[in-house]
Amino acid sequence: MEFREGELVIFLDHQERSYMQRLHPQGKLQTHRGYIAHAEVIGREPGTALVTSKGKELFALRPTLVDFTMNMPRKSGIIYPKDTAYILLWADVGPGSKVIAGGVGSGALLLALARQIGPSGFVWGYDVRQDMLDFAAKNLRDFLGEAENVSLVLGDVYEHIPERQVDGVILDVPEPWQAVEPAATALRPGGVVVAYVPTIRQAESFTGALRSSNRFGVVETVELLVRDWHIRNRSVRPNHRMVGHTGFLTVARRIVRPDGQAPPETQGPNLDRDPENGNSA
């Protein structure tokens, strides 16, 4: 389908630089490599190669979710796509899922959740700052339009999460250990909690709270690193820059123990996942 006025478009050059704009009949992309009038894009197919006023080639495409996330306005750090992908799979987020997102920020993770759960799912996005909720809402509208499967809530997940029997709780907050009990109460048995934190000491504190709550097991913490490769003719090597540390992800499952049964620390083998073979230790 051809580009229409008012659509988002991303221009990509041969050096993988990107420029995202919304098309307007009088609009213009200005770069150091020349300009392209939006009128040249409207009515063209996505993927069209265009030439700037200085003779440089750019490709006009509809932005993917990754494109939008990496180019969207932001007022805070974001959860990067490499971490978002892990969260979606390990939290088992799919069509129809009911998910709590604690800490909305600029809305990067919220965008991925809203699209992944589909119209039959629902995500509640909590933040203690109304300005962040408003900012995230605008980013949601810019990419997804009116997302009826999302509710943005001014509230503190450290204190209370009123929803019940949700499939996942995803925490992007400074002290996720304070949300362990509210998350446990909100989750269905077998549901997943995930916390994203920038430092290993935060991950350690969260893990300790999970293990001592008697309501979580199968605890795992990972750090994800991505290394791109430069492949040009006979030049084949890792890129000089790589996506290194962004944060640590800790994942656990909501469990139910018989009344009076002790947590695993006091009764023998624990319920953490063995990273060597993927099984419970």
Count of domains for the chain: 2
| Residues 186 and 248 placed together within one structural domain of the fold | yes
Q: By residue range, what is the domain housing residue 206?
A: 67-266
| Residues 254 and 129 placed together within one structural domain of the fold | yes
| Residues 114 and 155 placed together within one structural domain of the fold | yes
- Give the pLDDT of residue 239: 83
For residue 34, pLDDT over 50 is answered with: yes
- Please state the rounded mean pLDDT for residues 28-45: 94
For residue 30, pLDDT over 80 is answered with: yes
1 occurs within a structural domain: no
279 occurs within a structural domain: no
- Give, in order, the Cα–Cα distances in Å from 215 to each of 160, 173, 191, 257: 17, 20, 11, 7
**Which of 63, 80, 107 marks a domain boundary?**
63
| Residues 17 and 154 placed together within one structural domain of the fold | no
pTM, two decimal places = 0.87
271 occurs within a structural domain: no
For residue 101, pLDDT over 90 is answered with: yes
**Which of 20, 35, 63 marks a domain boundary?**
63
Tens digits of residue pLDDT in 184-199? 999 999 999 999 999 9
- Give the pLDDT of residue 266: 44
| Residues 137 and 100 placed together within one structural domain of the fold | yes
Domain containing residue 49: CATH number = 3.10.330.20
Domain containing residue 99: CATH number = 3.40.50.150
